[in-house]
Amino acid sequence: MILMVSVQNLKEAYEAMKGGADIVDVKNLQEALVGSAKPNIFKDVRKAVPADIHASLTLGVVPNQEGTVAMAVWAAGQMKATSVKVGFMQADYDKSVEVLQASKEALEGTETKLIGSLFADNVLYDGGLDPHLMPKLARDGKCDGWLIDTLTKDGRNLFDFLSEVELRDIVMEGKSDGMSTALSGHLKMSDLDELTRVNPDIVGVRGAVCSKGDRDNGVYSESVAEFKRQVELRKSGDIEVLEDISVLNKNINESNGWKVIDGTGKTCAGIIAALSQEINNKSDSFIEVVIPDVLNTYDILMWVEKEKHSILTQRKDEKGFVRILISP
């Protein structure tokens, strides 16, 4: 789980980077419900952000016009955005798929990733596209990942529209598809325990990291740093938020050997994809997966249970990494 901070200008981008944001996401909060920054603003931010920090661009709520959206997405690719987010509110599902597919085509030859987006509060709007469809829409639209956000400005946030259980199921589906998964929507520090249990790849914030908690006051580096610190405490397990899972341990002769999947440096989706591929290739072998992150360990345990595989052992090695032995 990494931290994405929404900024509106270069000054805020510097504050986000100073605080340790993993992704600097440029948007325009003054345009309609949420819109895109002007090209020169994004170009300035892209130039200032070093290669090890992502600079993403949000187009906001897009019209149901595939040519218009594809042209905007193409521009994001030409400006070397790490990713570009295309969001749908009141939209026909099939038309939204067409818009995303045209957007993906527009990014050919670039390294920019296409991120589809729906809003948890779409239910408030006539013809709002159901946010539960996010994983399917991303698959059909040939996206590289997806984001679920909110649009309302009445104090309600993501969890007021989708429960922890619903979000966890949606996120797990996205990870099983090999997608990057992101959640945002007026999230606060007090939501971190729930967010951690859901464990999206990316958590997006703005108001929570602005001066005095007011999104209109601008991003404040010390608030970013504290939010990032709290995320890391939960990732490391120093702050425990996961329910206890008992794992059956059996004595197995390790000299027999088995396939080892090294999950260090991989996202949870990457680990699950590697596991699925190995199981499909040779389903009668034991597979040991090495996981450096407490939260990803929990996701792997849930995935194993969902796929009806068996966990034979779970232990920590000398580096402190969790090693789980799976029997398909």
Which amino acids are annotated catalytic?
A: 27, 85
Between CA 215 and CA 136 the distance in angstroms is 32
In the three-class reduction of DSSP (H, G, I as helix; E, B as strand; rest coil), residue 7 is classed as strand
In the three-class reduction of DSSP (H, G, I as helix; E, B as strand; rest coil), residue 20 is classed as coil
What is the side-by-side order of every strand in the sheet holding 259-262?
259-262, 287-291, 322-327, 310-316
Between CA 319 and CA 308 the distance in angstroms is 29
Between CA 99 and CA 293 the distance in angstroms is 36
Assess contact for 173 and 165: CB atoms under 8 A: no
Q: Which two tokens stand for residue 222?
A: 């010390």
Name the residue among 288, 284, 297 with its Cα closest to residue 328: 284
